[in-house]
Amino acid sequence: MTFMYPLPVSVSLSLLCMPPHRPATKIKGNVIAEDQLAQMAKQMETFKVNLEEFATKHKDQIKKDPEFRVQFQEMCASIGVDPLASSKGFWSEMLGVGDFYYELAVKIVEVCMATSHRNGGLIRLDELKSRLEVSRHKNTQEISIDDLLRAIRKLKTLGNGFTIHPIGKTFLIQSVPGELTMDHTTVLQQAQKSYYVTVSGLVDTLKWEKERAIKALEYMLKEGLAWVDDQAEGERQYWFPTLFPDAQTP
């Protein structure tokens, strides 16, 4: 389909003053743009076909190799295909990637529920990973941090509940609804090394008002995310079981 540029029937004075080649360029421009669009669509189609072919050929590898999975997912994202959007899609039917992530998501929910009495519904991504690995059989597929984050993002579709908080270099996964503000995640970040913080410690390092530190810590106590220790030297310490290492998951 070619788009026709409507030429004016009566040529006004102002139009006469314009460079004569302008409408022609516009027409030409439109034609080129359309050609390109059609070509792009064709290229995308070819790319998709190739990707499908490629995926079918490397089905097992996608299932087995976590790194391969990341690359495949990134390719899909770049052409605007979400292989996880539906379990009825070509991708999940052909490759089982859908099943893989849905199963993983169910396992994630289980682990989060089983550990929430201890950590108040907040778990370190690496602890989640090692707990999942323990519960899985030795000869099943390897899982990566990327797989976990992908499965958790899919869980968000279910509504409020799962949130990913970047803390320093790692992530904390929140499995119970509850507001964690920047202040709270900052506190957790401060506690990452020693597993605890104090009010004056926060005031010193973050240059916070004392009230702000107290408010954040009180909230985290209330939510069961923090425990107090009154036997420490100096002042009360606030400890975070989420960050504290468990002997069972080294």
Q: Which residues bind another protein (CB under 8 A)?
A: 117-118, 196, 221-222, 224, 227-232, 237, 239, 241, 244, 246-248
User: How far from 138 is each of 106, 117, 133, 202, CA to CA, in Å?
Assistant: 19, 27, 8, 43
Tell me, what amino acid is at 155?
Answer: L
User: How far from 32 is each of 4, 22, 46, CA to CA, in Å?
Assistant: 13, 15, 21
* Smallest distance, another protein to C-beta of residue 64, A: 34
* Smallest distance, another protein to C-beta of residue 178, A: 13
* Smallest distance, another protein to C-beta of residue 46, A: 56
* Smallest distance, another protein to C-beta of residue 250, A: 12
Q: Based on CB atoms, which residue is closest to another protein, 105 or 216? A: 216
* Smallest distance, another protein to C-beta of residue 220, A: 10
Q: Based on CB atoms, which residue is closest to another protein, 158 or 228? A: 228
Q: Based on CB atoms, which residue is closest to another protein, 42 or 118? A: 118
Q: Based on CB atoms, which residue is closest to another protein, 174 or 237? A: 237
DSSP of 193-220, one letter per residue?
A: TTSEE-HHHHHHHH---HHHHHHHHHHH
Place of tokens 């995926």: 55
What is the rounded CA–CA span in Å between residue 213 and residue 184?
A: 9
Q: Based on CB atoms, which residue is closest to another protein, 108 or 243? A: 243
Q: What contacts 32, CB < 8 A, 6 or more positions away?
A: none
Q: Based on CB atoms, which residue is closest to another protein, 66 or 241? A: 241
What is the rounded CA–CA span in Å between residue 63 and residue 83?
A: 13
Residues 112 and 123: beta-carbon distance below 8 Å: yes
Strand partners, 167: 170
* Smallest distance, another protein to C-beta of residue 228, A: 6
